[in-house]
Amino acid sequence: MSQLRLILASSSPYRRELLSRIITEFECHSPSINEGAFHAAAASTAQLACTLATEKASVIASAHPDAIIIGSDQVADLDGRVLGKPETIEVAAEQLGALSGKWHRLLTAVCVTGGNRQHLMLNETRLKMRSLSTQEIARYLSSDTPFDCAGSYRIESAGIALFEKIECDDFTAIIGLPLITLADELRFRGFRIP
């Protein structure tokens, strides 16, 4: 059992569940940042994801300098346009309508900081949504309610049926935390990962 203190800079139940797959002892602290303030300054959606992940880790690291901090953020990118968490059924239906029949990217950035080292990782997943009718979108949204998910789908649930093709190196990145590369970094830092 490692004596290192590990903090996930997130309130996301998805990220918490993912991290618990590879390590049992960690804390969760929600960083308080204004994500909207970073959108205008970002030159690209990839830069936005990386900046937000780094900022989340930095905020928690400043309060807990003795710990290793994991910050993460995910951006759904449709032709350079950020598709955020919809929060309402109307926005979700609009996003799914825009994604219907098209490829888009999910950019998942992870920043691990602490102990005089900061390591930033960016995972890109390409997804092609099948063509969806208005009725299919409505049926999906009433059954899965993905209003807290970037891009308006919950791929680990019924949302998988919306897709025609997925190209990725690490399926867990789609849910919010790329465990393959994260496990490598945590092993490097001395955590005992299976």
Q: Between the CA of residue 176 and those of 22, 34, 76, 111, what are the distances in Å?
A: 14, 19, 11, 13
Tens-place pLDDT, residues 135-176: 999 999 999 989 989 899 999 899 999 999 999 999 999 999
Delimit the domains of the chain by residue range: 6-188
Share of the chain above pLDDT 70, in %: 98
User: What is the Cβ-side half-sphere exposure of residue 16, based on CA atoms within 13 angstroms?
Assistant: 10
Q: What is the mean pLDDT of the chain?
A: 93
The region that residue 190 occupies, defined by phi over 0 for left and psi between -120 and 50 for alpha, beta otherwise, is: left
Task: Read off the tokens for 112.
Answer: 């691990």
**pTM for the structure as a whole:** 0.91
**Among the listed residues 92, 50, 44, 93, the one whose alpha carbon sits nearest the alpha carbon of residue 73:** 50
Nearest 5°: the CA angle 130, 132, 138 is 135
Mean pLDDT over 79-107 rounds to 95
CA separation for the pair 98, 183 (Å, rounded): 35
- 6-188: CATH topology is Maf protein (3.90.950)
The Cα–Cα gap between 128 and 132 comes to 12
Active-site residue set? 73
- Measured distance CA(40)–CA(60) in Å, rounded: 23
